[in-house]
Amino acid sequence: MVVVAMTSNMTQVPFSFTIDNKDMRQGNLNRLGKVPLDRVLSLAQSLSVKVFGKVNNSVLERIDRELDELTKRPSP
Which residue ranges make up each domain of the chain? 2-71
Residue type, 17: F
For the entire predicted model, the pTM comes to 0.80
Mean of pLDDT values over 10-38: 92
pLDDT at 20: 95
CA-CA distance, 23 to 43, in Å (whole number)? Answer: 23
Of 42, 40, 23, whose CA–CA distance to 32 is shortest?
A: 23
Segment 34-73, tens digit of pLDDT: 999 888 888 898 988 888 889 999 999 999 999 898 888 7
CATH of the domain spanning 2-71:
2.30.30.110
CA-based torsion, 22, 28, 34, 40: positive or negative: negative
